[in-house]
A and B are shown apart, each in its own frame.
Chain A
Amino acid sequence: MSTSSTNVTLIGHPVPSLGRGHLVRLVAGVLLAPLIVGCRTTGGEAGAGIRVQIDVIGDRRVGPVGIEVVATRRDGSPASGATVTVRGDMSHAGMTPVVRPAREASPGRYVADDFAFTMAGDWIISAEGRLPAGERFAGKIEVRGVQR
């Protein structure tokens, strides 16, 4: 058993509107897209909110693995009591995603035991959670080179 690398992202589900800002973003995106893609990193904290850490528990091979999601508030306390769903996508569109609920194994630590990599290749694991008060959090990691 091994624990894979982690990544942290911050959440927020902004609702885009077709305003002037988006037009500028669109044009800038066209011009800068290659640069953005060429320089992208594997994530990082984006701002205030709930910090989400996702780990793959087990070997990165096709078959069952566990996915661990740790949600922590800014003050370091666990974000407990959330309903968490874990989703796995291949890097190529068109493959059926793996969507599993995660149980809270300990305060702020959620585990999807019955997750499985269904194909070799690159995966994107994302997790979304909703706290009893309605607060939402989410994060994702890239899992490269899942082996057969």
Chain B
Amino acid sequence: MAAAKARRVDLLAWSPIERAVRWRYARAVPQALLLALAALVVYDGLTGPQVAPLNFAGVLPWVVWRGLVVLSLVMVGNLFCLACPLPLAIGLGRRLGGGIAAWPAALRSKWLAAVVLLAFFWLYEALDVWASPALTASVLLALFVAALALGAIFRGAAFCKYLCPIGHFGYVCSTCSPFEVGAREASVCVRCVSKDCIAGTPRRGEGGVASGRLGCQLWLFVPAKVGSLDCTYCLDCVGACPHRNVGLLARLPGAELQDVRRRSGIGRLSLRVDYGVLAVVVAAAGLVNAFGMTGGYWSLWEWARGGAGWLPEWLFVGLALVGASVASGAFTWLAAWITAHAGQPSSLSETWARYVWCLAPAALGMWCAHYMYHFLTGAGAVVPLSLQFALSHGVDLGLAPDWSVGPLAPASWLLPIQGLTLEMGALLAIASAAGIARSAGLAGWRLAAGLTPWLTLIAIYVVLAALILMQPMEMRGTLAGG
């Protein structure tokens, strides 16, 4: 086992990278960069042209950032949380308000996070936030205010752990990422007495190790940490560990979904139905969010509105999101019931809470296909937009904005890339389902019977996703008035 771990690729093993990561301000630099970009989004969103393609608030978050988020999730891990500027607001809140209260015990679960995530997706669709720079800026500011307020009241990163919709999207998807933060050698952790990875190093560290570093603010204890759920990849534990024993380690994407061990800060995944609900919401919203950009969505709304007589879009999209989540929950529960009756040695809820995670790779495939579409069709628009912004602020860089540079890939490549992404997600989902069943000890006909309902659900999900991606695009949003 130790030999196997020793062979794992560690992104931090190269000493210049490790030194950079262990630098006291290693996280502050990317955070400051994203904070500056967030300020630009808010400024332009509230004062600039209320036309999304001509405003940083329309382009940076909804075209560039989302694409980079899914790319980083697929290629490394939850790197956005690493660079997220919201913890700066949490830190400011802590300075202002002390941040000493414990998060209410009744809310120490993911139920609230699932509701917030669903509400975030609903807000995005119902108010067409993507089409309104002012609303985008307002949502961003609201996130900062929420982070600051919670930082002022509660200790640790309660906002990240229990509320942040972006973070929870990242947590779910990062279960399929190829790298995880973890201990390089378990034996080193066994000998460690200071446990700085969770306690922090408020004093000068031994042996010249960086001092004054926080321990994990999400209460993940590295020696007992399994996978990437709830991990923000903040690398605080890397900086805090006096033994240089924390790395960014390679793994098989999705492998943690099969892991039955007790997880630090979480417990056994099979006992956490709330985490499973989070995965269901991410999967269901992946379909609805992409469907909302197609002609089929509007046809369905018009059909439903004709039948009901009255159905505003905010209600329709709310029903679609909740309905898709409830339907996904119901179908996966039925699948769990079948699997449990096929000989799965656990209760129905435990079976569900374990197997439902096999949808996570398929969901990541769908989100990736959707967001990469926008990224590849328009991320280059940042260049002419920057020139236009400079011009409108009296800075002539001598270059005329060329809006034809928006696409990063030919249009004919988009559908094949989306298909490939979806396919990769599906294959990983199938492998994960099989791995979960095997780890439960199923074999032979029990394995086949237990797996069949999940493979069916994965197939249905992927077929629905493919049908949505093949729909003609029809982007409608509440337009900003002149």
Contacts and interface: CB of A to CB of B under 8 A. Distances in A.
Interface of A: 7, 9, 13, 15-16, 22, 25-26, 29-30, 33-34, 36-37, 40-44, 89-97, 99, 119-122, 124, 126, 139-142, 144-145, 148
Contacts of A119: 473-475
Given A33-B135, A93-B130, A140-B51, 12 more contacts: A34-B135, A37-B127, A37-B132, A41-B481, A89-B53, A90-B475, A92-B53, A92-B475, A93-B378, A96-B407, A141-B482, A142-B479
Contacts of A44: 482
Contacts of A94: 53, 59, 62-63, 374-375, 377-379, 381, 406
Q: Chain A contact residues: over half helix, strand or loop, or mixed?
A: mixed
B393 A91 contact: no
Nearest to A145: B476
Interface of B: 42-43, 46-47, 51-55, 58-59, 62-63, 127-128, 130-132, 134-135, 137-138, 141, 293, 295, 374-375, 377-379, 381, 392-394, 403-404, 406-407, 472-482
A119 B293 CA distance: 11
B62 A92 contact: yes
Contacts of A90: 53, 475
A16 B403 contact: no
Contacts of A142: 479, 481-482
9 contacts: A26-B46, A40-B481, A91-B477, A93-B59, A94-B406, A119-B474, A121-B475, A124-B479, A141-B482
Contact of A91 (B375, B379, B472, B475): B475
Nearest to A89: B53
Given A16-B47, A94-B406, A120 B474 contact: yes
A89 B138 contact: no
B120 to A, nearest CB: 16
A43 B310 CA distance: 27
A125 B141 CA distance: 29
A119 B381 CA distance: 18
A32 to B, nearest CB: 9
A26 B80 CA distance: 26
B51 A95 contact: no
Contacts of B475: 90-92, 95, 119, 121-122
Nearest to A7: B482
A15 to B, nearest CB: 5
Contacts of A40: 480-481
Given A26-B42, A89-B54, A95-B378, A15 B394 contact: yes
B476 A95 contact: no
Contacts of B137: 29-30, 33
Contacts of A29: 46-47, 134, 137-138
A140 B474 contact: no
A9 to B, nearest CB: 4
A124 to B, nearest CB: 5
Contacts of B406: 94-97
B141 A30 contact: yes
A128 to B, nearest CB: 12
B47 A96 contact: no
A84 B430 CA distance: 56
A37 B52 contact: no
Contacts of A22: 47
Contact of A37 (B134, B379, B403, B474): B134
Contacts of B55: 93
Interface centre among B62, B137, B482 (most CB of A within 10 A): B482
A26 B295 CA distance: 36
Contacts of B394: 15
B46 A93 contact: no
Contacts of A89: 51-54
A84 B392 CA distance: 18
A142 to B, nearest CB: 4
A95 B135 contact: no
A121 B481 CA distance: 16
Contacts of A13: 392
A37 B128 CA distance: 11
The 4 closest A-B pairs by CB, nearest first: A94-B378, A43-B482, A29-B46, A93-B58
